[in-house]
A and B are shown apart, each in its own frame.
Chain A
Amino acid sequence: MKHSFFPATSSSKKSYYFTGGIKPPANKKRSLRSVIMDTPIPEFLYLSLKQYSGPDAIPVVCVGDKVLKGQLLANAEGELGVPIHASTSGTIREITNRIIPDEFGHEAGSICIEADGQDTWITRQPITDFKSLGPELLREKIQLAGICGLGGAGFPTGKKFSSNKPIDWLIINGAECEPYITCDQALIRENPETIVSGARILQRICRALHCVIVIEQDKQDAIDALGTAIHDCEIELISVPAKYPSGSERQLIQMLTNQEVPSGKLPQDIGVLTANAGTASAVHNAVINNEPLISRITTVCGDALKTPKNFRALIGTPVSFLLELCGIDYTSLSRLIVGGSLRGFTLKNLDAPIINTTNCLIAGSLREFPPAPAELACIRCGSCTDACPAGLMPQLLYDQIRSNESAKAKQYGLNDCIECGACAYVCPSHIPLVQYYRAAKSDLAAQKLRQRLSAKWQQRFEVRQTRIRLNEKRKKGSRRRSLSRPEGMDVTDTSLENFSRENAKQQIADAVARVKARKNRTPTNTQVKTKNPGEGKP
């Protein structure tokens, strides 16, 4: 059934390996029991203008406007922005600041749609064969549809695929290594053909030589489904060991290509592009069905829910709406996590809406996620070094950060930390290492900013000092009636060079002469009106 052109296939014995990593309990079974469920349309949808760290989109609708499903609501701002589309038909009720799902409880501009329940689409122009469109046209389509990385980072896909660099590998990432998250697995299981089609479109855009789809070995149902959906040898299916964080972009590249992305560079610099499986499916929808990104698969799970499942949730659906669909028990809910249990952040406000990057919601009970035990002393056991996929020595960084040596920590690779949380997971002394690293990183960033600012002020101060010095020299020079240029003087500074008492006297004399000449020309004509006082000047 499945043909493979390349030697490395899921059936071959080649082992895929990256250093470090952990094997936490997957906790994926409960949410995979049922099929993906289309959510009913909530009464109100809140579409945040900020879908990820990029600039906010700019609304093009007004309060009171009637909008159709898929209609453009806000334009992308700049290259890194994503446009926002209405996820259902209805009326714009308000455009205000509202809570968004991020770990700081920030607010951002949001468009509130009151759904009319009709769910009427705008006119779409589906196509059957994407090959009729050129790569650039396809990329534009993706960009206009607002597709961005659905794996969690949310970087605009159109922008990512606009690189001119030659691409060897296009990796469709369905590894989904983090505990609890099952949205990609469910999607691959149920709609593998959309992912394959999306992968082909992306391959056409970036002209990649190889295209592979990666799944972890423990997701046999997804592997089988994809195996039957791939009919030719252009796309290859690879299963990698189930080890966290195999789904992390850099680790995945290391496993598949035996190459490391150099520090501070992007994957495309070594000829690799990655896209999440969900993103590939969204690309298919955008190009073939002409549907913008208005929904995504979100896993809703956790012990506080009766029936955890995967939803095809409209962007903008309030979190509490989804939780209630799963039969949430508010009394046992102790921690709401957005994302997986290792990289996810906690959310305190259940009014926050689903955004493009919300791949998972975990409504955890106290038993499932007990509060962190007291932090004990580091015993340098080295478990964190063994677990770190980035090859860092977390205990060393921790030591340096604790003694306020962030700069030294940077030397030891603090900025190469991907914050996967493997170190903090294995730490027997329960040291919140990721928290320390984040603090130190923002410390370093602030330090850098301060340095830049102080360098700027230093420069301006020096310029001013030079100017003052030059002026004084000139004054002295003019007193001595010396015409020689003082040393160190800025040659380009002509305005200063021309300024001297002689010149000024000359200019005054010239002006007096001009006035006299004008008076002589029109001695009695008082009717001449000048609109602009400067107009009469030569």
Chain B
Amino acid sequence: MITSTTSSLIASCSPQQQAKITTGQIMLWVIAACLPAIFLSTYFFGIGVMLNIVLASVFALSFEAVALKLRNKNLRTNLLDNSALVTAVLLGIAIPPGSEWWLILSGVFFAVVIAKHAFGGLGQNLFNPAMCGYAMLLLAFPLDMTSWHIPVAQQADEPFSPLSLASMQTSIQFLLPAFATDSVSNTLNLADGLSMATPLIEQKMAGKSAIFAIFNSAGSWLDLLRRESGAGWELVNIGFMVGGLFLIYKKIISWHIPLSIIGSIVLLSLLFYSENSVNTYGTTYLHLFGSATMIGAFFIATDPVSAATTPIGKLLYGVIIGCCIYSIRVWGSYLDSIAFAVLFGNFCTPLIDHYCAPTIYGHARKRIWKPAN
């Protein structure tokens, strides 16, 4: 008789095999796809962009750890899902560079602790945490959230170099006003001094594409990289678009949401476009690349937790967000509208998911419209 019972064998439920991708890796890919735009942004607007992100990440991880501890969750496995890091990076990008540390702290606190963990942690939050944090900051501190503090040249004839040592120091002083020198703290107090309005305001006023302007004036390609050219914001948006397309290529996100957001914005902006009212309605190009549309469409609205899940649902979700973005931007009083549009989309998600559920195999198609009990 054979006696080969092996108790060391693993017993497990099917399937015995799993695909290699993990949640933590998905989140890391999202961050990686943000990097081109972050680098471009840093190049054009100074080290403050990076500082925002780094500080937000540190805060987010600390809050996440405390919240997990309070909720009696395993720290190691749950911190490694990197979801707090993604929230921090997106919020860090969204907060104007040169903001003070407490602004970042309160935004991250609201995003991670209130919007995520208070709702039951990752996967249970109804709303996109980063956008919750951003919206809260925008409502509570409208002035701080709409002005960028960017180091500029000391003398008027000096070239503008946000990455110089002095600029870096200034950026750090913007972040931590306690260590600020007099000149910097003066500019902080002066709303219109060295600080500048967000690029979006400039774009909204200008109504023209800086990149097109450079090409039309027969300038060289390298002019794009000159900070004075004003093409920075457009290039950053292109950076986000490239990163987003990379995510679609890697199948981290699906094409449905970005396509429907961008598609509906393009349609609406074409519909309302007229030569005479460019200053109010803007051009299609401006709506796509002169605003935060790209980061919104590829990185923020695609947050899986708060987005719709079925293909048709995703398209519908994207259309809702796209229409909101355009409407708020053109007819609303807020500068940009990604946060509110995405939050509104999040409100609709459960309803969309209910009505856009796929047809179950072997059931009549009318099941979709079966009312909830």
Contacts and interface: CB of A to CB of B under 8 A. Distances in A.
A335 B13 CA distance: 12
A348 B6 contact: yes
Contacts of A346: 9-12, 16
Contacts of B5: 348-351
Nearest to B12: A346
Contacts of A335: 9-10, 12, 16
Contact of B26 (A343, A395, A428, A438): A428
Q: B-side binding surface: helix, strand, loop or mixed? A: loop
Contacts of B309: 380-382, 385, 393, 395
A373 B16 contact: no
Q: Which of B23, B305, B307 has the most CB of A within 10 A?
A: B23
A340 to B, nearest CB: 8
Contacts of B360: 263, 390-392, 412-413, 416
Contact of A430 (B4, B18, B363): B18
Given A254-B361, A334-B10, A389-B361, A350 B16 contact: no
Contact of A428 (B9, B23, B74, B357): B23
A297 interface: no
Nearest to B9: A348
Interface in A185-238: none
B271 interface: no
Interface in A248-272: 250, 254, 260-265
A412 B373 CA distance: 12
Contacts of A390: 360-362
Given A263-B363, A419-B14, A378 B358 contact: no
A54 interface: no
A424 B15 contact: yes
A246 B251 CA distance: 22
Interface stretch (A76-84, A364-372, A487-495, A501-509): A364-372
Q: Which of B17, B19, B26, B311 has the most CB of A within 10 A?
A: B17
B276 to A, nearest CB: 44
Q: Which of A351, A369, A381, A385 has the most CB of B within 10 A?
A: A381
B189 interface: no
Contacts of A182: none
A522 B358 CA distance: 90
A391 B358 contact: yes
B154 interface: no
Nearest to B20: A428
Contact of B19 (A24, A260, A385, A395): A24
B18 A372 contact: yes
A179 B123 CA distance: 31
Contacts of B124: 377
A133 B5 CA distance: 48
Interface string B160-201: 000000000000000000000000000000000000000000
A428 B17 contact: no
B6 A260 contact: no
Nearest to B360: A413
A369 B14 contact: no
Contacts, number: 183
Interface string A411-441: 1110010010100111111101011001000
B19 A376 contact: no
B138 interface: no
A137 B307 CA distance: 60
A320 interface: yes
Contact of B305 (A19, A24, A380, A393): A380
Contact of A337 (B16, B22, B311): B16
B18 A425 contact: yes
A47 interface: no
A330 interface: yes
A438 B122 CA distance: 25
Interface in B16-38: 16-19, 21-23, 25-26
A262 B311 CA distance: 24
B19 A425 contact: yes
Given A379-B123, A385-B310, A391-B361, A434 B7 contact: no
Contacts of A344: 14, 16
A430 B3 CA distance: 35
B18 A320 contact: no
Nearest to A263: B362
A466 to B, nearest CB: 34
Nearest to A389: B361
A377 B81 contact: yes
B27 to A, nearest CB: 9
A362 B12 CA distance: 14
A32 interface: no
A333 interface: yes
A367 to B, nearest CB: 13
B263 interface: no
Contacts of A89: none
Nearest to A351: B2
Given A24-B17, A334-B8, A393-B309, 14 more contacts: A44-B1, A261-B362, A264-B362, A335-B16, A350-B4, A351-B5, A377-B123, A379-B26, A382-B314, A390-B361, A391-B363, A396-B353, A421-B15, A428-B25
Instruction: For the complex of A and B, list the 8 residue pairs with the smallest distance between their C-beta atoms, beginning with the closest.
Output: A421-B15, A382-B309, A263-B362, A377-B123, A341-B17, A413-B360, A381-B304, A435-B13
Interface of B: 1-19, 21-23, 25-26, 74, 77-78, 81, 83, 121-124, 254, 304-305, 307, 309-311, 314, 353, 357-363, 373
24 contacts: A250-B361, A263-B361, A263-B362, A264-B362, A335-B9, A335-B16, A341-B16, A342-B17, A344-B14, A346-B16, A350-B2, A350-B5, A351-B3, A376-B78, A379-B23, A379-B81, A381-B304, A393-B309, A393-B358, A412-B360, A416-B361, A416-B363, A428-B22, A428-B25
